Chain A
Amino acid sequence: MSPESRPDLRGELDRLLEGEGARAGYVVSDAGMVSMWAGDVAGVDAESFVSLVSAQAAAAASLAPLVCGEEFSEMTQEGGRTTVRVTGLGDGWILASLHDTLPGQGVRPHPRGDKVAALQADLKRLVGKAKAHETAGGSQVTEGWSDEAASRIDQIFRGGV
């Protein structure tokens, strides 16, 4: 159940992630929808990961004004082998990137320095491109889609084992 990612945008995201020393990353809306992903996501339950990360980011966004009066630009959760870094991109989008935790050193710092502004700007541009592609097909699905979806709902949600 891994979401798809447009190959050309994935290539761009791949390069950005590589520059950040990340092995993979998901660009996600704060409602928990994946826009694109790149990198080595083998073994990651994408839907669960993304739903938890987006909820966590949304909670942190509400939490930040209570304690520091501004938004958190980044959150890091360090594990023994993997560190998750959540970077706010503005307009309700976040990047959740996965990094290898280096023994005794934690996660590698941003190669561009402490400021995440440059990464955010690059990712914002990428999200803009993705959004343009997402709406490029028009505002509606193809004719007959709803009827077929309704019949699929009857099959999948029939209630039998």
Chain B
Amino acid sequence: MSMINYASREITCKLVYYGTGLGGKTTNLEHIHSRVDPDSRGKMISLSTETDRTLFFDFLPVDLGEIRGFKTRFQLYTVPGQVYYNASRKLILKGVDGIIFVADSQAHRAEANVEAMHNLYENLSSYKIDLDQIPFAIQYNKRDLDSALPLEALRQELNPGGVPDFEAVAIDGTGVFETLRAVSKLVVKTLS
């Protein structure tokens, strides 16, 4: 949950990008890092392997400045996509305020997307968090690829509940900020 420090008048919200390996979570963060005014963001930290696979997490702090007397910050995290890092994925979810599930649109990744979604539900349940109760959006990434499944097929499989969803090509930035804005706004709404 968001940390509201009334003493120092600070609000910190934690957003986590979740999803299957090589789906584009880190690419989302890299794009955000490259496009947000450097005065408003901190350093991006990537704990990755030599082959640029996320080992533990990526982290990007963004400062929204002072809003009605509260210094407001967003902390953006990604989790490692590979299933054998599940313990790390679970740790990163601790204290989460909003989640963006990055799905890989390619047909051959359909099963991996579903597995990652199940894994998200399972890991959240260990913190007694119900995905239906927190700000959540799905991003269908890699929409530019020939092997991408039709949007309706992805929706049917991953979004039966009709949460906000977005098409994206994270590598060129398409859909990246739309998704981020949507979940961030849902998060701040929960605070009022």
Chain A residues at the B interface, C-beta cutoff of 8 Å = 1, 3-6, 9, 29-36, 45, 47-48, 51-52, 55, 58-59, 62, 130, 133-138, 140-146, 148-150, 152-154, 156-161
Contact = CB atoms under 8 A, between A and B. Distances in A.
Interface size class of B (residues with CB under 8 A): 35 or more
A130 B177 contact: no
Nearest to B34: A161
Given A33-B3, A133-B6, A59 B191 contact: no
B70 A141 contact: yes
Nearest to B44: A48
Interface string B51-80: 000001101011111011111110101000
A83 B43 CA distance: 22
Contacts of B113: none
B176 A159 contact: yes
Contact of B6 (A5, A134, A158, A160): A134
A153 B6 contact: no
B69 A32 contact: no
Interface stretch (B17-25, B88-96, B101-109, B156-164): B88-96
B177 A55 contact: no
B74 to A, nearest CB: 8
B3 A152 contact: no
Nearest to A149: B188
B67 A159 contact: no
20 contacts: A4-B8, A29-B3, A33-B3, A33-B14, A47-B73, A48-B59, A48-B61, A52-B45, A58-B91, A133-B5, A133-B6, A133-B7, A136-B7, A141-B68, A145-B191, A146-B192, A149-B188, A153-B188, A157-B32, A159-B35
